[in-house]
Amino acid sequence: MLPVFLRRLNDSLPLWERFRSRYFDRHVRVLIFAVRHVRVPRQLLRLRELCRVGDALAVRRPSDWKARRARLYRHVLRRAGHPDVSAADSDELAVLAAESLRALAEPLMSASQSGLCLVLNALALISAVLLCLSLASSALKVRLFPVDLAATAKWSVSSTFPGTQASGVGTSSKGPYFFHTQFENEPWLVVDFGRPVHVGRIKIFNRVDCCQERELPLNVESPKGNGWNLVCQRRSPFHTWTCEPHDLTTDRIRLRLPGNTALHLERVEVWR
Amino acid sequence: MTRGVRGVLSAVRRTLWRDREDGWGFALVVTALFVVALIWGHWHHEFWRDETHPWLVARTASGLRDIVDGDRVYDGHPPLWYWYLYFWTAVTRDIVGLHIATIVAEGTAALLLLRHAPLPRLVKVLLTFSYMLGYEYGIMSRNYTAGVICAFAFAATYHPLRLRLSSFVWLALLALSSVYGLAMASAFLLVLLGHRLSLSRSSNFSRTVTVLTVPHVLAGAVLVVGSFAFAYLVTDPPDPNPYSPAWNFAGVGRTMILPALHRVVAAFIPLRQPGERLFWVATIPYSLEYPRLFEKLAYILPALALLCLFPGWLEAAAFVLGCFEMAFLQEARYLGHIRHWGHFFVFFVTMVWIVRVERPRTRNWLAPVFLLLLGLCQAEGFAVALWQDTKVPFSGAREAARAIEKAGLKDLPLVIGPDWAAPSLTGYLDRTFVSCETDEVNQSMVFHGRRKAFTPEALVSKAVAVARERHSPVLVISNRALPNPPGAPALKLIFANTIPSELGDENYQVYRLDL
């Protein structure tokens, strides 16, 4: 059994070598090149600025502008690695300078592409590793693939508008709202998880078809003794609002409007 | 001897009138003096509700996005200043952070002016220690400070030949500082692109220009236009209410020009009389004493300002356009006070700066002389305001907060009304309060129209309800005397401001309610 495994391992090594040379070494080499030539972008920017000044000279035409412009472009060409340029006209020099700058920028572009490829490859590798680990660890799985606690929670409301439900399981709907209270003083919605859970994020979706301003101010509360404790409050109009309680473990949350109005929401999500 | 004195005088004149800096020494020394003045002013300045409100919004925000679509949406200001304060609240939640944030911002603006503005040193010193830059945007803490720093940074990065992306970035940020910043940014953008256009219209426009600069301009223009659109979308409050009224075009027309020119005079010459109360809203005190002179100044000062921009026709046109935008906003939306009108002055200083950068060899002697005279008037206003602010408490909030902390009552539930009087106090206490007008629990107030009218009786009954709900004594705070609750123990007065504050409506009475 063992020799077979070792033989297979031995056979696979050249494959790994090939993979390394193709996807890893090449990118790393290019990156090392980029780091070594970190001065290039700075030089490139400086030479571009000089070209721009040369162009402006042609437009504004101060005294001796032609000679000054030609001197500038020759300087740019010299710095870009073309010391011997035969062109005499400053316009020709301008074109040559632009082309030489473009050539100077090419390795940089190639290095950026390689860097991007390397980052994408690394991200893909990390994702694959995390995926594998999450299959083994349930804690990691919960972190990586969080579950909406409200999707299976029971809910109830203070009153019902005709044709709407007073309670149910799962705080979402395909319609504009999953519940609708009467117009009353301090309407509320209670979401009951059935057991104490750690709540890290409560995402509330307002109905989008109308009447969003009715849901203000909206309080998110948790039980405290015989009463309720204010966790978050929303005072400005919203389509979606995320309340992030600090260290909250509770078996219920309550959404309450302090004024005389009606409460109706499209969806409520509760995440660890 | 005479020759020696003349030599010294000449050297002093040359030093004071030198308009190009080749090092940081002068700028750093004057900025240090300015920062000392600011620290002294802040030490004695008590924040009022207008100043603490953005700090409280930033302090209670859950993130940068919450600042965009949270309580700020009712304020009528873009989010830049709130974002800036949000980072400071990460350093400290204490209100001292607001003092530091303001000093840092205005100190930086002064440093940019002193180092980069091509104006005589004497003028720059007077402008730095001016009423507008020193007091209104230096000691008073407002989002307009962010506008000053962005405008000056734009001018500092402006180059007559090289079009820098950083100039566009500063314009984009300027548009996000305030609606006045938006008006100024649109005028500066006109100058920037106008000069670029004048370059590109030449027949010698070479291929290199096309290759190298168009992406640059395009990226910058997209950034600025995007910022303008974003500022427009996030600034207009969704709920017109008494605190941020809706558009009103009734006063827009030819008749708005003269009042606007009066406001320009008030901003350019903010003379203050020593011992004057309400110096921070005293708009044009001398207009009543010398009405004829004032009427003439309304024509003379703007005309001189335009002459100072000569021969920058484009800059002059942009200046007129920017001032018109500001006057339009004042007439159609919110007339404002001297702190809003001060943008005429900041705008003018920045435009002169740009003209002198654009034409370094053109000597317009009028601009420095005019700015020198304005600077003298501004410095007088700054000195009086600083002195007055140190003598009289600006708001009674700091004293009331200290009294509450000293009595060990800071942790009791707070019920404060009217709610607009609360932010100054909660700013110092770092506590939420219950509002009887909106039923909200917040550190600051939100300027929406979903509120009941305030009455002392409603405040007291809310306090009773909160005390019953929380089974705890409650602190009831108001800027007026409160009646005792019916059928409940009497309120016990534990503190009242004794010295009348500069703001007449921020003298507090703190009661304790025990059920």
Report helix angle A39-60 to A65-79, nearest 10.
170
- A52 and B70 within 8 Å at the Cβ level: the answer is no
Substitution target from A47, A59, A99 for chain B, most B beta carbons within 10 A: A59
Q: Regarding beta strands A260-261 and A227-234, do their DSSP bridges make them parallel or antiparallel, or are they unpaired?
A: unpaired
- B439 and A217 within 8 Å at the Cβ level: the answer is yes
- B448 and A58 within 8 Å at the Cβ level: the answer is no
Is residue A87 less than 8 Å (CB to CB) from chain B?
Answer: no
B434 strand-pairing partners:
B415, B441
- Distance in Å, alpha carbon of B82 to nearest chain A alpha carbon: 16
Distance between CA A55 and CA A60 in Å, rounded?
Answer: 9
Burial class (CB in 10 A: 0-12, 13-18, 19+), B470: middle
- Distance in Å, alpha carbon of B102 to nearest chain A alpha carbon: 27
The 3-state DSSP composition of chain A as helix, strand, coil percent (nearest 5) reads: 50, 25, 25
| Contacting residues of A for B204, CB less than 8 Å apart | 58-59
Lowest mean pLDDT among B165-179, B184-198, B403-417: B184-198
> ∠ CA A133-A134-A137 to the nearest 5 degrees?
85
Per-residue pLDDT band for B70 (boundaries 50, 70, 90) equals very high
Whether the per-residue pLDDT at B200 is higher than 80: the answer is no
What letter would DSSP give residue B495? E
Average pLDDT over residues B237-253: 80
The closest CB to that of B71, out of A53, A60, A236, belongs to A236
Q: Regarding beta strands A154-157 and A188-199, do their DSSP bridges make them parallel or antiparallel, or are they unpaired?
A: antiparallel
| Contacting residues of B for A60, CB less than 8 Å apart | 161, 199
B83 close to B64: Cβ distance less than 8 angstroms: yes
Mean per-residue pLDDT over chain A, rounded: 85
Whether the per-residue pLDDT at B79 is higher than 60: the answer is yes
A204 close to A254: Cβ distance less than 8 angstroms: no
Rg (CA), chain B: 25
Per-residue pLDDT band for B396 (boundaries 50, 70, 90) equals very high
Per-residue pLDDT band for A134 (boundaries 50, 70, 90) equals confident
Q: And the tokens for B68?
A: 């965009």
Lowest mean pLDDT among A7-21, A91-105, A197-211: A7-21
The closest CB to that of A55, out of B71, B206, B239, belongs to B206
Max distance between CA atoms of chain A, in angstroms, equals: 92
Q: And the tokens for A120?
A: 């994408």
pLDDT digit string (tens) for B114-138?
A: 999 999 999 999 999 999 999 999 9
- A235 and B448 within 8 Å at the Cβ level: the answer is yes
Measured between alpha carbons, how far is residue A66 from residues A46, A51, A56, A63, B154 in Å? Answer: 21, 14, 11, 9, 31
Q: What is the share, in percent, of chain A residues with pLDDT greater than 90?
A: 37
Per-residue pLDDT band for B211 (boundaries 50, 70, 90) equals very low
Query: The dihedral of CA A208, A211, A213, A217: what is its sign?
Result: negative
pLDDT digit string (tens) for A145-180?
A: 888 999 999 999 999 999 899 999 999 888 899 999
Is residue A103 less than 8 Å (CB to CB) from chain B?
Answer: no
Average pLDDT over residues A9-17: 65
The closest CB to that of B442, out of A49, A95, A235, belongs to A235
Residue in chain B nearest A73 by alpha carbon: B208
Whether the per-residue pLDDT at B407 is higher than 90: the answer is yes
What is the per-residue pLDDT for A33? 66
Lowest mean pLDDT among A89-98, B187-196, B456-465: A89-98
Per-residue pLDDT band for B204 (boundaries 50, 70, 90) equals low
Distance between CA B152 and CA B352 in Å, rounded?
Answer: 11
Lowest mean pLDDT among A86-100, B317-331, B416-430, B492-506: A86-100
Residue in chain A nearest B452 by alpha carbon: A259
**DSSP secondary structure, B440-481, as one string:** -EESS----S--PPP-HHHHHHHHHHHHHHHTS-EEEEESS-
- B212 and A101 within 8 Å at the Cβ level: the answer is yes
Is residue A95 less than 8 Å (CB to CB) from chain B?
Answer: yes
Choose among B510, B425, B444: nearest CA to B473: B510
b or e along B362-377 (b: 16 or more beta carbons within 10 Å of the residue's beta carbon)? eebeebbebbbebbeb
Lowest mean pLDDT among A60-69, B127-136, B285-294, B457-466: B285-294
CB neighbour list of residue B88: distance below 8 Å, 6 or more residues apart: B58, B97, B98, B100, B101
- B212 and A51 within 8 Å at the Cβ level: the answer is yes
Average pLDDT over residues A223-246: 90
Taking one residue from A and the other from B, the number of pairs with CB-CB distance under 8 angstroms is 86
CB neighbour list of residue A142: distance below 8 Å, 6 or more residues apart: A272
Lowest mean pLDDT among A195-209, B132-146, B159-173: B159-173
Residue in chain B nearest A261 by alpha carbon: B450
Choose among B138, B226, B219: nearest CA to B185: B226
CA atoms within 13 A on the CB side of B447: 22
More confident residue, B14 or B131: B131
Lowest mean pLDDT among A171-180, B48-57, B375-384: A171-180
- Distance in Å, alpha carbon of A52 to nearest chain B alpha carbon: 7
Average pLDDT over residues B58-65: 93
CB neighbour list of residue B61: distance below 8 Å, 6 or more residues apart: B67, B70, B71, B82, B86
- Distance in Å, alpha carbon of A139 to nearest chain B alpha carbon: 27
Per-residue pLDDT band for A91 (boundaries 50, 70, 90) equals confident
The closest CB to that of A237, out of B238, B440, B469, belongs to B238
Is residue A72 less than 8 Å (CB to CB) from chain B?
Answer: no
Average pLDDT over residues B146-170: 91
More confident residue, B428 or A135: B428
- Distance in Å, alpha carbon of B208 to nearest chain A alpha carbon: 6
Mean per-residue pLDDT over chain B, rounded: 90
**ipTM of predicted complex:** 0.80
The closest CB to that of B441, out of A95, A102, A230, belongs to A230
B433 strand-pairing partners:
B414, B442
Whether the per-residue pLDDT at B320 is higher than 90: the answer is yes
CA atoms within 13 A on the CB side of A216: 20
Q: What is the share, in percent, of chain B residues with pLDDT greater than 90?
A: 69
What is the per-residue pLDDT for A36? 63
- A236 and B446 within 8 Å at the Cβ level: the answer is yes
Distance between CA A108 and CA A30 in Å, rounded?
Answer: 10
The closest CB to that of B74, out of A91, A230, A236, belongs to A236
Is residue A244 less than 8 Å (CB to CB) from chain B?
Answer: yes
